[in-house]
Amino acid sequence: MCLFFGIAVLLHVKRHSSGRPLFRGRANGTYYGEDFIEPAETGTPSDLIPVKVAITIAGDTITFDYTGTARQVRGGINCPFSVTCNSTWFTVKAITDPAIPINQGCYRPVKIVAPKGGILNCTFPASVVSGNTETSPRVIGMLLTALAQAIPDRVIAQSYDSACSAIISGPDLDAARRRAMRRASAAFMDVHAGGMGARPTQDGVNGIRVYVGDTGSQSVEQTEQAFPLVIEEWSLVADTGGTGEWRGGNTARRIYRVGYDEATLSIACERGRVAPAGLFGGGGGSLFTASVHSPDGTTRAVPAKGSSEIVHAGDRVVVQPAGSGGYGDPHRRDPERVRADVLDGYVSREVARALYGVALTDDLAVDAGTTATLRRTAAV
């Protein structure tokens, strides 16, 4: 049940009540999508792993053909066929009617083709640990973008598409906590909330988990009680959601102050290189970033995947998932909505002026004359 729990809320898809198949008569054809998964081993940008799909809608049936997708790779980002099926079925349910109870009739019209030995239909001994948490949501994002060509009113712009897991583990030197927790070492794991893409008639959602999975971020209080960590910041980050008539959701940033004498930091996330894209003129969202800041003033970046970092007491670990894409031309956004975004801290005044074409006065009212000039000039 948890698998589909958030679909209706996230996508706000209306029930299809005409009594006929959703696609019949308006979307027959083949629609193509392509994206790039980031490798689990560090390397150059040429290491990006292509994922492709051809979606054919024909009357009452829909076929997803993943031919052309990369072969399985080293590192745990491969998907068993069951995970690929799950991502595909999730997408179909989201764009049709999320309220339909799961039954065999949901699957019968859907055909899935994924060549054996590929990243989306891997074979033993392929590593798959992040296939479910990272590759699966990236596949869903690719499918929604491809389907935007057919049903633009039922999809969203790209999201941060990741569980964005971080693990900090090491010996716990606090004797009282060791006794209370009945352990010698403390392995802390957290998932991080990013941006959800903008919708056809609404903004995206700030700081939320998207698609498969229903695990939320660890609470500040529980974390600080059970682990040698202090969460110094948990905040939304302005301008990380893409611009658009409907704004992409901003991501959330967490900063941990390390209390371990020494610990290992491992991160598995997506979109460190490939930013979430907007739709129909909407701007793209920000990339994933992570870093370790030491008391001596040095800072080192942490890649999205493929790295284990040693951290020490006093280090600060910053984890910021990707943002999300916007939907539609940002110059069509209501200036009062842009003003509200600035007041809420979602959009900076600089971005409001430069990308939305909305000028604000010193007391943060909309300067209608300057705004009209900015937008008229941008349209030329």
Nearest CA to 247 out of 117, 151, 337 is that of 337
- pLDDT score of 17 more than 60: no
Residues 25 and 207: their CA atoms lie apart, in Å, by 38
β-pairing verdict for 299-301 and 289-293 = antiparallel
pLDDT category at 60 given cuts 50, 70, 90 is confident
pLDDT digits (tens, 9 = 90+) for 79-100: 999 999 999 999 999 998 888 8
Q: What is the pLDDT of residue 14?
A: 34
Neighbours of 152 (CB within 10 A): 13
With 0-12 CB in 10 A as exposed, 13-18 as middle and 19+ as buried, what is 116?
exposed
Can you name the residues that pair with 304 across neighbouring β-strands?
A: none
Instruction: Kindly report the pTM of this predicted structure.
Output: 0.90
Rounded CA separation 127/305 (Å): 14
Residue from 283, 217, 213, 220 nearest 250 by CA: 283
At residue 252, φ and ψ (nearest 5 deg) are: -115, 140
Residue 356 has pLDDT above 60, yes or no: yes
Q: In sequence order, what are the beta bridge partners of 343? A: none
Give the whole-angstrom CA distance, residue 129 versus residue 72.
Answer: 13
- The count of other CB atoms within 10 Å of the CB of residue 106 is 15
Residue 237 has φ and ψ, to the nearest 5°, of -110, 115
CA distance linking residue 351 with residue 364, whole number of Å: 14
Report whether pLDDT(358) > 90: yes
Judged by phi (left if over 0) then psi (alpha if -120 to 50, else beta), residue 13 lies in beta
pLDDT given at position 257: 98
Share of the chain above pLDDT 90, in %: 78
Which pLDDT value is given to residue 225?
Answer: 94
